[in-house]
């Protein structure tokens, strides 16, 4: 079983959004996926799952204190992929959770104010991990936007690991969630869909 952890030191960076869209796409590729909502305060994942008609991927809520047992149980039950959507802070639990991960991603907005606070926060994350730029300015066709390219440069210069796949700001990501759907089932040929497929492929290649 592969374990993917989604963390951030800030709220609203797209952890739950990416967790749901990745889980739905993984399930549709035939990977039996368990999506775990560890955010007991906002529970976006569990709440969106409650309006899904399709009961796959399976979604459960859990406490951080139960995560080692849950990881073992998911392994025993034969899941192919476990995705852990974490609360919006990094603390001592982060080390415990990210130790279970084959790979960890940290979605962040491409705003410089958010990028600048990354280096001191990522120390709490067990490797391997990458920042995933989310809600980026839409790219011109066949190119990366100038703003996003600038952010990549800053992250590369500071030695922060960053995914080569970035996610742009697209309404489809939010619209799909209004129906409890992943974007790849909501609009399978959309730009948003392609980005999720490419991100999932990259995660499988790297981990």
Ligand X SMILES: Nc1ncnc2c1ncn2[C@@H]1O[C@H](COP(=O)(O)OP(=O)(O)OP(=O)(O)O)[C@@H](O)[C@H]1O
Angular region, 173: left φ>0, alpha ψ -120 to 50, beta rest: alpha
CB nearer to ligand X: give 14 or 57. 14
CB nearer to ligand X: give 81 or 106. 106
- 51 phi and psi, to 5 degrees? -100, 5
Please identify which residue in 9, 15, 21, 48 interacts with ligand X, judged by CB under 6 A: 15
CB nearer to ligand X: give 39 or 70. 39
Angle at the Cα of 166 from the Cα atoms of 103 and 93, rounded to 5 degrees: 35
Strand ranges inside the chain, DSSP E: 2-6, 33-37, 58-61, 81-85, 103-108, 129-133
Q: Least distance (Å) from ligand X to the CB of residue 184?
A: 14
Please identify which residue in 16, 94, 98, 184 interacts with ligand X, judged by CB under 6 A: 16
| b/e per residue 170-205 (b: at least 16 CB within 10 A) | bebbeebbeebbbbbbbeeebebbebbbebbebbbe
Which string of x and - marks every residue 21-60 that binds Mg ion (by CB under 5 A)? -----------------------x----------------
Taking alpha carbons only, the member of 23, 88, 30, 89 closest to residue 58 is 23
- 108 phi and psi, to 5 degrees? -145, 150
> What is the DSSP secondary structure assignment for residue 43, as one 8-state letter?
-
> What is the DSSP secondary structure assignment for residue 177, as one 8-state letter?
H
CB nearer to ligand X: give 13 or 25. 13
Among Mg ion, ligand X, none, residue 150 binds (CB under 5-8 Å by kind): none
Q: Does 61 bind Mg ion (CB under 5 A)?
A: no
**In the range 95-134, which residues lie near ligand X by CB under 6 A?**
134
Q: Which stretch binds ligand X (CB under 6 A): 50-58, 97-105, 153-161, 165-173?
A: 165-173
Count of positions (residues) in the chain: 207
Q: Least distance (Å) from ligand X to the CB of residue 176?
A: 9
CB nearer to ligand X: give 75 or 151. 151
Q: Point out which residues bind Mg ion (CB under 5 A).
A: 15-16, 44
Q: Point out which residues bind ligand X (CB under 6 A).
A: 8, 11-17, 39, 42, 44, 88, 134-135, 167, 169-170, 173-174, 177
């Amino acid at each position: 079983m592969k374990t993917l952890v989604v963390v951030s030191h800030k709220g609203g960076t797209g952890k739950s959004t990416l967790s749901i869209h990745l889980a739905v796409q993984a399930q549709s590729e035939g990977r039996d996926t368990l999506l775990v909502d560890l955010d007991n305060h906002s529970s976006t994942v569990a709440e969106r799952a409650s309006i899904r008609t399709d009961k796959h991927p399976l979604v459960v809520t859990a406490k951080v204190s139960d995560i080692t047992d849950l990881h073992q149980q998911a392994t025993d039950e034969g899941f192919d992929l476990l995705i852990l959507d974490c609360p919006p802070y990094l603390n001592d639990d982060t080390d415990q959770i990210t130790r279970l991960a084959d790979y960890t991603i940290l979605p962040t907005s491409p705003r410089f104010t958010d990028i600048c606070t990354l280096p001191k926060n990522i120390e709490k994350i067990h490797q391997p991990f990458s920042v995933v730029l989310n809600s980026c300015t839409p790219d011109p066709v066949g190119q990366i936007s100038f703003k996003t390219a600038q952010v990549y440069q800053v992250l590369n210069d500071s030695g922060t690991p960053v995914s080569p796949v970035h996610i742009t700001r697209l309404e489809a990501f939010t619209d799909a969630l209004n129906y409890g759907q992943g974007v790849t089932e909501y609009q399978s040929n959309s730009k948003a869909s392609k980005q999720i497929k490419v991100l999932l492929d990259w995660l499988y290649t790297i981990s």
